[in-house]
Amino acid sequence: MSDQGLFLTLEGIDGAGKSSHLDALEALFKAQGRTVVRTREPGGTPLAETLRGLVLEKPMDPLTESLLVFAARRDHIAQVIGPALARGDVVLCDRFTDATFAYQGAGRGFDNAVLSTLEQWVQGQAGGTKLLQPRITLWFDLAPEIAAQRLAGARVPDKFEAQPVEFFRRVAQGYADRASADAQRFVRIDASQTRDQVWLQIESALRARGVLAGGRAG
């Protein structure tokens, strides 16, 4: 399924600026002649968006939170991501499973072994021997203190955005751990730079991975 299209995710703590580059990424791939499906997690389907609202606003324990996130992900994969990749489309997703390990795992202190089991159940393919994962994950790495300054007064915070800086330090470390464990998939983006400099990093990384070369590359 994932071998036929291009699955690219953007990850990072709140305030890292990842979402601000989605328009440019979509335009870049469309200029290459690709069909682009742009989506987000939690969310991406009517059911998953409903679950997103619960996860972001309602108090709950980490297990309940994780189960809802993976339930939303399952519907998202079945209804949107899987069919798009099977068609050969580019899927640009604002967060995916790495965020669950960073936020629920590292941030909330939930058991990574349970998260790994849920990951296998929800993303397992070919009889469970292979996981649906992004081909490339752009990790927008930014110091939590700078991210907090960027978020201050930007909008009414959800329950995660309202967490103290120490929470985001743990989340940032969770992302670093995921990147270390899967270095071939992750591309670290220095999100402390200007918007134009960040974009140059993104475009350079995608060209280095070969996904922009020769039209329908990837």
- Residues 120-178 have pLDDT tens digits of 999 997 665 689 999 999 999 999 989 878 777 666 677 887 888 899 999 999 999 99
3-state secondary structure of 147: helix
* pLDDT tens column, 1-59: 334 799 999 999 988 889 899 999 999 999 999 999 999 999 999 999 999 999 999 99
CATH number at residue 196: 3.40.50.300
What is the value of pTM for the model shown?
0.90
Please indicate, yes or no, if residue 218 is contained in any of the structural domains: no
CA angle 9–97–2, rounded 5-degree value: 60
Please indicate, yes or no, if residue 40 is contained in any of the structural domains: yes
pLDDT at residue 155 in the model: 61
Contact assessment for residue 52 and residue 72, using Cβ atoms and an 8 Å cutoff: yes
Domain count, the chain: 1
pLDDT at residue 204 in the model: 95
Strands 90-94 and 124-125: unpaired
Please indicate, yes or no, if residue 217 is contained in any of the structural domains: no
3-state secondary structure of 60: coil
Please indicate, yes or no, if residue 1 is contained in any of the structural domains: no
- pLDDT at residue 218 greater than cutoff 50: no
As annotated, the binding site for ATP includes 12-19
Query: What's the pLDDT band for 217 if we cut at 50, 70, 90?
Result: very low
As annotated, the binding site includes 12-19
Please indicate, yes or no, if residue 18 is contained in any of the structural domains: yes
Determine the Cα–Cα distance for residues 172 and 180; give it in Å rounded to an integer. 12
Contact assessment for residue 7 and residue 135, using Cβ atoms and an 8 Å cutoff: yes
pLDDT at residue 37 in the model: 98
Residue 153 lies in domain: 6-209
